[in-house]
Structure 1
């Protein structure tokens, strides 16, 4: 009986192995990341996803996950390095709350969450700062992600540290460091 089904099982196993690369999205990233010196520790690294991630690619999308925070959020501040020469479109910035990433293997099944209204969005290219103010305060414990649409990637590949800070409602408007996205843009 086993000998009868063995060729079928082998054939199914081989065909699944050949179909697997079609399910993997380009630049899903978060592969091996080595940090040293003043870089963020493993617990400070934030998760992200690039739709393309190719140098010079116009119209890329960055999914930058802040995750669940212990405090409410009324401002999101993202800084990026001076050697990042990509172009970020302020009109293409959105914030989503909730959602489910789904299974790590099947990335296409994730729920992107609900898009929220933003009161103010600014990109200061001189100081390399993206400042986002939601129309309403995001409650503590809510999964949050920032999506940068219509991004033109830098002309050269490399690793780029995007730092995240959040502001909480209260008397003292201090920005709190949340973590760093270590974006890897590489030649395919």
Structure 2
């Protein structure tokens, strides 16, 4: 391979990124259901949460969302998870097919409620999840919205105890149909 051939892919990649930056367009990619590079999202980097869409986030199709919260974000025990989503998201969730997994194992849930009007899903485990635990919230049998696009899902948690206030943990920037 000549030196010129070796430099061509790097040059084209640099040119594409520079073009997006010059035009002020946000870069968001989706690679096989995983979040890609996100620039200019409006969410601080330390608040971005990882996720995976098992069936590639095709608009209008069924999917499984794996929303992850790292152990470092779980600084206290959690008795409730609340996941909010924007009014631009027109997908459908299956309340009976939502679970919380710790170390790959599903834990028992007391209740799952989907408040469509306020765009929030509340999940109550039977027993509080200990601090410093990596959590995966799995939404199976989701009907992706037909409009696709980028949707910001926010994770809020409530700790067991006296003050029943939800605390922001982070944001999943979910891309539907952005392949």
Q: Shorter-chain TM-score: which interval?
A: 0.7 to 0.9
Aligned partners of 1:63 and 1:146 also within 8 Å:
yes
Map residues 106-185 of structure 1 onto 2, 5 A cutoff. Answer: 113-185=104-176
Residues 111-136 of structure 1, C-alpha deviations (whole Å, 9 max, x = no match)? xx110000010011111000000000
Higher strand proportion: 2
Map residues 72-87 of structure 1 onto 2, 5 A cutoff. Answer: 72-87=77-92
Specify every segment of 5 or more residues in structure 2 that has no aligned partner in the other structure, as ranges.
1-29
Once the two structures are TM-superposed, the CA of residue 183 in structure 1 deviates from its matched residue by 0.2
Aligned residue number for residue 46 of structure 2: 43
Aligned residue number for residue 93 of structure 1: 98
Aligned partners of 1:81 and 1:161 also within 8 Å:
yes
Change (3 A) 1:46 1:187: closer
- Across the aligned residues of Structure 1 and Structure 2, the Cα RMSD in angstroms comes to 1.5
Change (3 A) 1:119 1:70: same
Aligned residue number for residue 16 of structure 2: none
Once the two structures are TM-superposed, the CA of residue 28 in structure 1 deviates from its matched residue by 3.0
Is residue 27 from structure 1 mapped to residue 32 from structure 2 by the alignment? yes
Using the alignment, how far apart are the partners of 2:80 and 2:101 within structure 1?
Answer: 14
Report the 3-state secondary structure (helix = DSSP H, G, I; strand = E; otherwise coil) of the residue aligned with 1:133: strand
Figure out how many residues of one structure are paired with residues of the other and give that number. 147
With the length of structure 1 as denominator, give the TM-score of the two structures: 0.75
Once the two structures are TM-superposed, the CA of residue 26 in structure 1 deviates from its matched residue by 6.1
Report the 3-state secondary structure (helix = DSSP H, G, I; strand = E; otherwise coil) of the residue aligned with 2:164: coil
Aligned partners of 1:35 and 1:41 also within 8 Å:
no
Report the 3-state secondary structure (helix = DSSP H, G, I; strand = E; otherwise coil) of the residue aligned with 1:91: helix
In terms of Rg, which structure is larger? Answer: 1
